[in-house]
Amino acid sequence: MLCSLSLSQADTIWTGAGANKNWSTAENWSAGLPGSQNVLFKNQGSAATAATVTSIVDEDYTIGSLIMDYEAPVGANTTTYQNLQINSGKVLTVNGGLSVGSTTETAYTSNFNYINYLTLGGSGALIMNGGGTANLTVLPTNTGTLQPRYRRAAVLDMQTLASFTANNLSEFVLGADQNSSSSITSQVNLAVNNTIQASRLVMQGYFGQSYLQLGTTNKLYIDDILIGQQDTTSPTQTWSGGAATMRFRSGVTGATVEIRAKDGVGAANIVVGRSGLAPAAGAGGTGEGYLNLEGGTMDAKVNNFIIGLADQGTTSLVSGAAVTGTATLGAGLMEAANVVVGRTTTGNTNTNNGVTALANLIIKNGGTLDVSEELLIGDAQQSTLALTSTVYLTSGTLKASSINTGANAANNKSVAFNWNSGTTIQNHAGSDLTIGAGVPLTLTGTGVHTFNIDSAKTGAVNSDILSAAGVGGVTKTGLGKLKINSTGNTYTGATVVTAGTLEVDGSIVSSSVVTVNNGGTLIGTGDVSAIILNEGGIIGDNSLTATSFTWNGNLISSVGQLQYDLNTLVEGLTLTGTLTKGTGTYFTFDFLGTGELNMSYTLLNGWTSTNFDEANFSYVNLGGGLSGTFTIVDNALMFTTVPEPSVTTLCLVAFAFATLIARCRVSQQKI
């Protein structure tokens, strides 16, 4: 883990023996002023308090590796501080790795703590050039044999530093994997402005915490971001009670984070919360990972985004063990190819029940997650691990091509999608949207839940839309089509079509009303509740069944009406309640240029009462050569086609009428 950090014959060690604390004072170093050699800080020169400045970079320096190798005195609770100040306008360039914490701790039998603090302060700049092999490691792997109660911690604090740049690192590691069971905790507070380029970011812990706290501007160009990672590689590390968190530092305003692959252009991979090995014997315990971006604005491109991964090694997990992954996305945009919320794998033949995996995806603060391929909620491949996977669309927008659920080995998983009012589900640009039957959408709040489907695209909802607290409703926007196919929908709020087409082939009878506004179209073969058709709205060719229908009539020139293809019409709109004349003058049917001669069509049927009569209805676009009349027969509105009068007939009628008028005038003159 400490690639490129080994000491060479040209290393220099800080002694602090000079008359001041400046790096430019030769007496402060064991081998003269630092140059291209590695720079080592050991216990000497450390301070008893965090506020004490221990060394000052008063000139620009380019060095090899920077190593903070502190070792605890035997059998003592110890905290060491190194406050390295980089003066304003000065740059410390490290052409190698940077490490905080000792790799050679002695084995101890007593229970005590040892904490290393490195503060890089001042308003200067730190640049690391990793050359593709060097690492930045906070709390490196310990080569000693430690007791379980021994607690090691290391903190790298750069929050007052003006800028931190890390170029071409191999790994950025917080809490390296251990060959022992000592407790490890690590923390990095980034500078005000940061650019980090690395192959991997690994955040680990055992009975402790790992924190990466972002600054004001953060560019993370990293191929693989592993938060709460438990390595299965040698040396292996057991996992129990450990947690890792990436978040914005408290108190930072206007913060941003840009996430890309190492090349700064492509998409990174992110895993939040991964446990792959058994906890300490009999300990049970948990492994947790948290990504929290709600404190700023994100601009992220991600390939595979996995939240909560129980990826087992060769040992059966201890009953009571758990893995937790939670990702909270804030303002801005994350574009991802594939997102998995909760996955258990079949990496071993685990025989212990009572092992759980928990995964949460939270979208808030108006943020957008855009998934181009698949959002998979709950992929339970392991038969003995219980998996709970939940998506919270709290504030913002979720765009996707597919929202589905995965494997369900031994029926041991729970899947939930909590959809708060004021938020939007939308198709990924250029793609249709499919929501699988295994992902129920639970409406929370009393406001609007919006489906926005782009023009010429279709959103198919095969799952149930359910009600939680409140009476939230569903609104369809966008010029495309939304299809509701399930018969198990129970939401009670209103359904509003403001643009495009809503096709109901399932049932939404629990919805209080379906309102079709100007620019919206309602079609389908399913069941709906009360319908209100407003001016400019359209009810299309369908076999819908509705509890009632209120028709707010339209001006004859308006595009809003009932549209029927008479050539394919089966039974029209069926009502189980009333047909009510609303506001307006004309109630128009558009027959789309269809119809056959001498046919009777049922347009509306089944109502129990109505205040319409035949004279209230009109039509446009009947098939060529046809005319027709409306009649109300019992509880049905019928339309019967007849031949349209020919031009000759119309001329003869006009001539006869003119002759009659002339005769009347002659008669009047004789009187």
SS3 for 249-288, per residue? Answer: CCCCCCCEEEEECCCCCCCEEEEEEEECCCCCCCCCCEEE
The predicted structure's pLDDT at residue 150: 61
What residue has token string 């004279």?
615
The predicted structure's pLDDT at residue 248: 98
How far apart are alpha carbons 390 and 377 in whole angstroms?
Answer: 7
C-beta neighbour count of 251 within 10 angstroms? 8
Q: Amino acid identity, residue 255? A: A
The predicted structure's pLDDT at residue 585: 85
The predicted structure's pLDDT at residue 570: 83
The predicted structure's pLDDT at residue 355: 66
The predicted structure's pLDDT at residue 52: 85
The predicted structure's pLDDT at residue 153: 79
Nearest to 463, CA basis, from 493, 489, 495, 444: 489
Q: In the structure encoding, which two tokens stand for residue 232, read together?
A: 């299965």
Q: Are 348 and 383 in contact (CB under 8 A)?
A: no
Nearest to 608, CA basis, from 572, 587, 636, 638: 636
Q: Are 209 and 185 in contact (CB under 8 A)?
A: yes
Greatest distance between any 2 Cα atoms in the chain: 140
How far apart are alpha carbons 671 and 661 in whole angstroms?
Answer: 16
C-beta neighbour count of 45 within 10 angstroms? 17
Q: Are 496 and 529 in contact (CB under 8 A)?
A: no
The predicted structure's pLDDT at residue 237: 46
How far apart are alpha carbons 110 and 114 in whole angstroms?
Answer: 12
Host H or E run for residue 458:
strand 458-461
Q: In the structure encoding, which two tokens stand for residue 610, read together?
A: 């109505």
Q: In the structure encoding, which two tokens stand for residue 18, read together?
A: 């000079």
Q: In the structure encoding, which two tokens stand for residue 130, read together?
A: 């990793």
- Number of alpha carbons in the 13 Å side-chain half-sphere of residue 282: 0
Q: Are 274 and 323 in contact (CB under 8 A)?
A: yes
Q: Are 371 and 400 in contact (CB under 8 A)?
A: yes
Q: Amino acid identity, residue 106? A: T
Q: Are 136 and 128 in contact (CB under 8 A)?
A: yes
The predicted structure's pLDDT at residue 141: 73
**What does DSSP say about strands 636-643 and 600-605: parallel, antiparallel, or unpaired?**
antiparallel
Per-10-residue mean pLDDT of the chain, 671 residues long, equals: 44 92 95 91 74 91 91 66 92 95 64 74 95 92 59 86 97 74 82 98 80 98 89 46 88 96 98 68 63 97 95 58 88 98 76 74 98 97 88 98 92 93 98 97 95 98 90 95 97 97 97 96 96 94 91 77 92 93 90 96 92 92 96 94 71 48 43 37
Q: In the structure encoding, which two tokens stand for residue 263, read together?
A: 């090349």
How far apart are alpha carbons 175 and 186 in whole angstroms?
Answer: 6
Burial of 547 (0-12, 13-18, 19+ CB in 10 A): middle
The predicted structure's pLDDT at residue 311: 75
Q: Are 84 and 63 in contact (CB under 8 A)?
A: no
What residue has token string 């216990």?
43
Q: Are 282 and 324 in contact (CB under 8 A)?
A: no
Burial of 303 (0-12, 13-18, 19+ CB in 10 A): middle
How far apart are alpha carbons 185 and 379 in whole angstroms?
Answer: 31
Ramachandran quadrant class, 625 (left: phi over 0; alpha: psi -120 to 50; beta: rest): left
Cis ω on the peptide bond leading into residue 235 (within 30° of 0)? yes
The predicted structure's pLDDT at residue 346: 78
Q: What are phi and psi of 433, to 5 degrees?
A: -120, 130
How far apart are alpha carbons 530 and 528 in whole angstroms?
Answer: 7
Dihedral sign computed on CA atoms, order 501, 503, 509, 511: negative
Q: How far, in Å, are 99, 190, 204, 220, 589 from residue 246 at the CA level?
A: 20, 11, 12, 12, 60
The predicted structure's pLDDT at residue 118: 81
Terminal C-alpha separation, the chain: 123
Q: In the structure encoding, which two tokens stand for residue 253, read together?
A: 């305003």
Q: Where are the beta strands (DSSP E) in 122-216?
A: 125-129, 135-138, 151-157, 163-174, 183-189, 193-203, 209-214
Q: How far, in Å, are 282, 294, 350, 381, 631 from residue 384 at the CA level?
A: 18, 34, 7, 9, 66
The predicted structure's pLDDT at residue 61: 97
Q: In the structure encoding, which two tokens stand for residue 24, read together?
A: 């430019």
Q: Amino acid identity, residue 475? A: T
The predicted structure's pLDDT at residue 653: 47
How far apart are alpha carbons 248 and 251 in whole angstroms?
Answer: 9
How far apart are alpha carbons 230 and 112 in whole angstroms?
Answer: 25
How far apart are alpha carbons 54 and 644 in whole angstroms?
Answer: 101
DSSP 8-state assignment for residue 204: -
C-beta neighbour count of 578 within 10 angstroms? 15
Contacts of 271 (CB under 8 A, 6+ apart): 224, 225, 226, 227, 228, 229, 289, 306, 307, 309, 325
DSSP string, 569-632: -SS-EEESS-EEE-SSSBEEEEEEEE--TT-EEEEEE--S-BS--GGGEEEEEEPTTEEEEEEE
